[in-house]
Amino acid sequence: MRVYKFGGASVKDAEGVKNLAKVLQTTGYTNTLVVVSAMGKTTNAMEVVIKNYFDNKPELQSAIHEVIKYHNQIILDLFDNENHQVFKKVKLLFDELSLFFKSNKSPDYNYVYDQVIGYGELISSTIISQYLNEIGLNNNWLDVREFIKTDNYYRRANVNWEQTQEHISSKLDASVLNITQGFLASDANNFTTTLGREGSDYTAAIFAYCLNANSVTIWKDVPGVLNADPRYFENAQLLHQISYREAIELAFYGASVIHPKTLQPLQQKEIPLYVKSFLNPEGDGTCVSKVKELIPEIPCFIVKKNQTLISLSSLDFSYIVEENISEIFSLLHLYKMKVDVIQNSAISFSVCIDNLYDNLEKLLQHLRAKFRVTYNTNVSLYTIRHYNTDAIQELEKDKAVLLKQLTQGTVQIVTK
């Protein structure tokens, strides 16, 4: 049994869906579970839909129509028969979405977000499943919400492993080709939950763990895991082999190729993870496994944009001690801030955070009651694993460094 995951870039149009089919035909597709993301930039488009629902209702239908038009074009490019059942199935999903907006009474943004955002995955997996059936790659379409169960921490739900294992073991026929959605799950009341942005990789790992899969392959538009994001760094190099530990470190610091939660369940059962190009399915790609080294061992660069750096000092210039730090972290937890770097001295404390839930102003107001507060928004956090002097100097060139922290294997630099 193996698990494949295809991201949005790999199925952004009809040619992408056809290429997915070619990958399956090239590599084989029996005993395979395929996890798919929403097509192209659909998740971003659905976020616009959600924003209009709350802030600009006159534009809601227009935003939904853009999503419908985009998917209908892909269907028309894939299916010659305009009476094919795929049209009806996709229309039913959009009808469900419209019904939710008409009937919803909850003002909770995070709840609404999770009920709406997943239609991208439901629609993409429906189109892909129907197309594969059409060309003779018979498959089962699975609603992932019937298999992965979580708590109700909307937008970043925690998996109930016992229930999930039970559902997957009892309901899933692993001997055939199955198509399902990434990113989504459901809570005890069967409301949709999500596993966090880019959570489709994690979905693949959850299924692999519960199925004792032989491997997981993430199909990307890059040849494998690179030592740097080519969008921000020149001359990125392919990493051929990575240990689980190293991959977890890279994911923790924000490497975008592998979702941070993906690796733990795979490591527990020593299931290898392959990252390969959907444009070259027979290429070697990158293997993440139980190896002890990074091959080749070169500096690895990671950047996280749009961070916020907060610097605190006590109002009376007393020491920042355990009691203060405990209170600061309680507030960071209360306002759901993701902490990426901390640095403290006798009378100051700095923290670089990701304001995922747009609670920054509330946090700052709370902190100002007990601390002097300065902050910088829209800063960039750079991390170099296996750094050397040349790598640091090249990174710092022409940048204003606001914070720098070195440990034995990692340097982190916050710049404006």
Domain map (residue ranges) of the chain: 2-220, 300-415
Is the pLDDT score of 198 beyond 80? no
pLDDT of 256: 74
Q: Please, what is the angle between helix 85-103 and helix 119-134, to 10°?
A: 170
Bind-site residues: 231
**How much is the average pLDDT of 196-215?**
94
Q: 2-220 belongs to which CATH class? A: alpha beta
Are the C-beta atoms of 355 and 327 separated by less than 8 Å? no
Q: 300-415 belongs to which CATH class? A: alpha beta
Helix (H) or strand (E) holding 86: helix 85-103
Instruction: Point out which residues pair with 309 in neighbouring strands.
Output: 352, 376
pLDDT of 254: 85
Please tell me if the domain spanning 2-220 has the same topology as the one spanning 300-415: no
- For residue 337, the 8-state DSSP code is P
User: Tell me: the pLDDT tens digits for 240-287?
Assistant: 999 999 998 898 898 876 876 899 999 999 999 999 999 999 999 999
| pTM, full prediction | 0.84
Residue 40 to residues 35, 59, 121, 144, 415, Cα–Cα distance (Å): 15, 22, 11, 20, 31
Torsion angle of C-alpha atoms 122, 127, 128, 134, degrees rounded to 10:
140
Bind-site residues for ATP: 231
